[in-house]
Amino acid sequence: MNPLALELNSVLEGTVAGRLLSGLGRRIYFPRGIIAQSAEAKARAFTANATIGMAYSGGRPLIMSAIAAELPGLSPEETVAYAPTAGIEKARQAWKEQLLLKNPSIKAEHLSLPIVVPGITAGISYTADLFLDPSQTIIASDPCWDNYGLIFRDRREANFTTVGFFNGGPGLDLKAIEKTMKHGAESEPLRIILNFPNNPSGYSPTRKEEDALVGMILEIAESGRDALVLCDDAYFGLFYEEDIIQESIFGRLVNLHERVLAVKLDGPTKEDYTWGFRMAFVTLGSKGLEQGHCDALIKKYMGIIRSSVSCANTPAQNLMLKTMADKRSSVEKEKFFRLLKGRYQAVKQFIISHPGHSVLSPLPFNSGYFMSFRCNGVDAETLRRALLDRGIGAVALGEDYLRVTFAAIEEKDIPGVYETIYETASKSAPA
């Protein structure tokens, strides 16, 4: 094993993060190669910096006129230069400041500096690389985002276990979740990914449900088991009801117990409506982590990033910084939130006024972009194809669930779209 990996492992020894590392997580390190030497030269090479593979003229990176003309608000350094492996420092600091503002329950002393990754998908995948070995178990909701299975089961060859989060009631099936958590922690550490607002259901826990979830994780930690909790917060902030949590559950987990390692995966993708930027953040926290531990974990992530994509998108990070500093942004975000909330309320009103459909049972929803139906007596894929014939696109998740992205439908069109969905579902069911 590389001495640099051994050095990082020794720093993490005795911590929950050190115990949870996968085989790859133990082997990975950030090399003192071109990137590290270039960073050192940037600070000290005042005569000439001949390290990084970039071309300069007059002290600035060369840039094509067509690119410069399309991005006039960015300098060549902000547009075409390589970003540091863990991300632009100013972007990382700014995101951490915003994270603490949005989640005041988080205690910063047990928190890493966010790491920039090329999208939340990459952040989840990198975290799986570091903390999940083949045949180890990780738990997700049923239904869940279909990419989880691709990442955890197919890519990492883990035991990908799902638990029905909804059982016909108005909220989470806490008994089923607790049973699955305890079973998952019987012979190995608990590993679970929590996604709120949930994709595809569009559900976020009430405050009482969050208390229950946190209590389950605490009980497992107090029993002597380690716990890895991934918090997929892709749709953070889009909370449409007063009784649901307004912060990430990550805030409750960071200072919960020395045996709990929480990983927050978020970014401007949905929060700031920048879907194609392909940039996100990974932030780690645990009551048992000190700054040196966090720095070692960041270097582990940097090794994963360096060995895959090298670094995240430079202009996206700088555009995000400019957006965060622009006075128009908060006003526009509030406007967009009201627009999406109006669409949510239109769907909610339709569901309330059309109870007891013979085929479609709506799952609880109160946040995010989506809502989903459980399909009773009709295959979801069959229904999806029938809806396409009526000019409506929706997503079939397995045989049982149909996801509808109400965020993509104009509010005035929602009643007609849902009328067609209900009518088509009724006709698709066998007689």
* 370 burial via Cβ count (<10 Å: 0-12, 13-18, 19+): buried
For residues 270 and 346, state if they share a domain: no
Q: Of 265, 300, 325, which closes a domain?
A: 325
What confidence score (pLDDT) does residue 233 get?
98
Identify the CATH number of the domain in which residue 390 sits. Answer: 3.90.1150.10
For residues 293 and 351, state if they share a domain: no
What confidence score (pLDDT) does residue 34 get?
65
For residues 96 and 244, state if they share a domain: yes
Nearest-angstrom CA–CA distance, 367 and 382: 27
For residues 339 and 307, state if they share a domain: no
59: left (phi > 0), else alpha (psi -120 to 50), else beta? left
Q: Of 325, 342, 363, which closes a domain?
A: 325
For residues 60 and 157, state if they share a domain: no
What is the strand order of the sheet 190-195 is part of? 115-117, 280-285, 260-266, 227-232, 190-195, 137-142, 159-164
Instruction: State how many domains the chain has.
Output: 3
Nearest-angstrom CA–CA distance, 345 and 292: 47
What confidence score (pLDDT) does residue 149 get?
97
For residues 95 and 77, state if they share a domain: no
Nearest-angstrom CA–CA distance, 146 and 200: 9
| Nearest Cα residue to 147 out of 85, 23, 234 | 234
For residues 255 and 118, state if they share a domain: yes
Domain that holds residue 351: 329-428
Print the SS3 string covering the chain.
Answer: CCHHHHHHHHHHCCCHHHHHCCHHHHHCCCCCCHHHHHHHHHHHCCCCCCCCCCCEECCEECCCHHHHHHCCCCCHHHHCCCCCCCCCHHHHHHHHHHHHHHCCCCCHHHECCCEEECCHHHHHHHHHHHHCCCCCEEEEEECCCCHHHHHHHHHCCCEEEEEECCCCCCCCCHHHHHHHHHHHCCCCCEEEEEECCCCCCCCCCEHHHHHHHHHHHHHHHHCCCCEEEEEECCCCCCECCCCECCCCCHHHHCCCCCCEEEEEEECHHHHCCCHHHCCEEEEEECCCCCHHHHHHHHHHHHHHHHCCCCCCCHHHHHHHHHHHHCCHHHHHHHHHHHHHHHHHHHHHHHHHHCCCCCCEEECCCCECCEEEEEECCCCHHHHHHHHHHCCCCCEEECCCEEEEEHHHCCHHHHHHHHHHHHHHHHHHCCC
| Nearest Cα residue to 373 out of 166, 163, 149 | 166
Query: Do the Cβ atoms of 137 and 128 come closer than 8 Å?
Result: no
For residues 189 and 314, state if they share a domain: yes
> What is the pTM (predicted TM-score) of this model?
0.95
For residues 334 and 231, state if they share a domain: no
Identify the CATH number of the domain in which residue 222 sits. Answer: 3.40.640.10
Taking only Cα atoms into account, the Rg of the chain, rounded to an integer number of angstroms, comes to 23
Q: Of 291, 325, 359, which closes a domain?
A: 325
What confidence score (pLDDT) does residue 46 get?
66
Nearest-angstrom CA–CA distance, 123 and 126: 5
For residues 19 and 95, state if they share a domain: yes
For residues 221 and 354, state if they share a domain: no
Q: How many other β-carbons are positioned within 10 Å of the β-carbon of residue 68? A: 14
Successive 10-residue mean pLDDT values, the chain, 431 residues: 96 97 97 72 69 81 91 95 96 97 90 97 98 97 97 98 95 98 96 98 98 98 98 97 95 96 96 94 96 97 96 96 95 97 98 96 98 96 96 96 97 98 91 63
- As given in the structure block, the two tokens for residue 116 are 């920039």
Query: Do the Cβ atoms of 21 and 131 come closer than 8 Å?
Result: yes
For residues 151 and 186, state if they share a domain: yes
Bridge partners for 19 per DSSP:
none
Round to the nearest angstrom and report the end-to-end CA distance of the chain: 64
What confidence score (pLDDT) does residue 177 get?
98
